[in-house]
Structure 1
Amino acid sequence: MEERDNTPMLDLNVSLDETMLDNGLDCIPHCDAEKIDEHILYDNGDLVETSKDMTTDYIPKVGMLFESEDELYHFYNYYARRTGFSIRKGHFKRSSDGEIRKRVIYCSKEGFKQRHKRGTPQKERPVLRTGCMALIQVIAKDGMFAVTKFVEDHNHELVLAEEAHLLRSQKGILPQQARYRESLHSGGCGPTKAFSILSKEHDGPKNLNFTLTDCKNHFQKRRREIYKEGDAQVALNYF
């Protein structure tokens, strides 16, 4: 949900002291921002891997600085994976020049599902939202995004480590994995074989961010893209 902010600066009703922000980001402790860059690798904005297990370096703290929203999202998503929950982007504010000035990222179980006001009884579905208050909030100033609020506690059970890779915010085939998978296909491997090879190279399917079904769907999507480009014969040969 977007909120338009026409004032020069945000309403800083957050846990970071206003004086720290007014005096510039140099007053904010840089915490572990440099350590984050040392251990989390990116490829075109996508989290690729980390060079060590979760430590206190990867626990969000008020005052942490990020160069972009994407860097913040990938960091918090990595923390979420190691902790056992999924995330989603929440509300944000823009300044009068259209730039993002404030962003909140929630636990995916934030809030409650709204009931439809209909006369016909609706099919019961699993309760996915529990009103969880866990979140991270940043404000922008001087070209950086500073963490101004971090709520760590959840009001629901967290997912086991071996299942965390299947959480919604974690799923997806990374660009370099897609390229490698397509090179395997060029060598005669179908989606099942390609998935098997990728699983072995990552010490098991639990370490992949996608399932065999996701892999097959990716093949189908790529085939449709080739058809759309007008090369039907190449698309037929793709499988």
Structure 2
Amino acid sequence: MEEVVGGEILQPLQDISSGFETEIEEASSSNEGTCDENEVNYNNLDVSEKKLESKIGMTFSSQEEVNEYYKNYARQEGFGILKRTISHDDDGNVKFFTLTCCRARKSQSIGMNLLKSSLSIKTECPARIRASMQKDGKFRLNIVKIEHNNTLSPAKTRYFRSNKRLDPHVKRRLEINDEAGIGLSKNFHSFVIERDGYENLTFGGKDARNHIEKARRLRLGVGDDEAIQQYFSRMQKRNAQFYYMMDFGKDCRIKNVFWTDARSRAT
């Protein structure tokens, strides 16, 4: 995003945050084994075209490939996944990481679970994979547990958080249809028809509604952002103590506006 401070545009900082939790678990050597390594590429794999398997010894060219593979495998079998643990070496390189069934953690008290969906209740499910980086930089599965202690739901995989996704072109089309005055129900249903059913979507009606509501809050009329910036510039010329900052997103829409004057600073 870009920031305008005192009428000047600042360059955005790069995001260097990690997408993984750093909870560390000890590996169980009893679950490790050896077999012929078969390198695979599961990026953008259509799970309807091939029955995925999960076994020790599978190798992948990157951490992202492991993530994509296990997400597709989970969607095929009927469960969601969590990025559970990760370990780095002294140089910051990933040594190993663990992906688990989304019900892997301990369940909370019965009273707190009453309001939760049956799909989100934790059961300490043992299903998981662990991938370790090899000397050639590839990742090898050295722990694979496929048994679950909960009921799998292939028909409901789209409801799991790990499987929900709003692609950029979907977001843009939702916004365009909304700006054209098309109602939410008709807007969402157009995707259902296009994908031949709800089960083929990577998002639900609630996800579409949340995105449209967010876009509406950020939406401004043509020229409104320029008018606001011109007004703040005039105020700053009149009062040297006047300060403002405008936060723009990648789509050039205002995300946040902040301003203050001498009186506000004094308080």
Instruction: Give the structure-1-normalised TM-score.
Output: 0.70
Runs of 4+ aligned structure 1 residues displaced above 6 Å come to: 232-235
Percentage of identical aligned residues: 27
What pairs with 1:117-156 in structure 2 (closer than 5 Å)?
Answer: 123=112, 125=114, 126=116, 128-141=121-134, 142-156=136-150
Match of 1:199 in 2: 192
1:107 aligns with 2:107: no
Over 3 Å counting, the alpha-carbon distance change for 1:62 and 1:99 in structure 2 is same
CA distance in 1, matches of 2:111, 2:155: 34
- CA deviation string 1:129-154 (max 9, x = no partner): 11110001100122221111111111
Gaps of 5+ in 1: 5-9, 21-27, 42-49, 116-120
Task: Compute the TM-score of the two structures, normalised by the length of structure 2.
Answer: 0.64
Matched, 1:53 2:61: no
Change (3 A) 1:96 1:79: same
1:52 CA drift (Å): 3.6
Q: Is the 8 A contact 1:3 1:94 kept in 2?
A: no
Q: CA RMSD in A?
A: 3.3
Quick one: distance in 2 between partners of 1:122 and 1:30?
47
What is the number of equivalent residue pairs in this alignment? Answer: 200
Maintained 8 Å contact 2:47/2:76: no
Match of 2:239 in 1: none
2:32 aligned residue (2, 5, 15): 15
Matches within 5 A, 1:17-36: 17=34, 29-31=37-39, 33-34=40-41, 36=42
Deviation at 1:231, TM superposition (A): 3.8
Give the Cα separation in 2 of the matches to 1:92 and 1:102: 6
Q: Is it true that 1:178 corresponds to 2:171 in the alignment?
A: yes
Q: Could you say which residue in structure 1 is the equivalent of 2:248?
A: none
Per-residue CA deviations over 1:200-219 (Å, capped at 9, x if unaligned) read 01001221122212111111
* Pairwise CA distance, 1:186: 5.1
Structure of higher CA gyration radius? 2
Contact 1:66 1:72 in 2 (8 A): yes
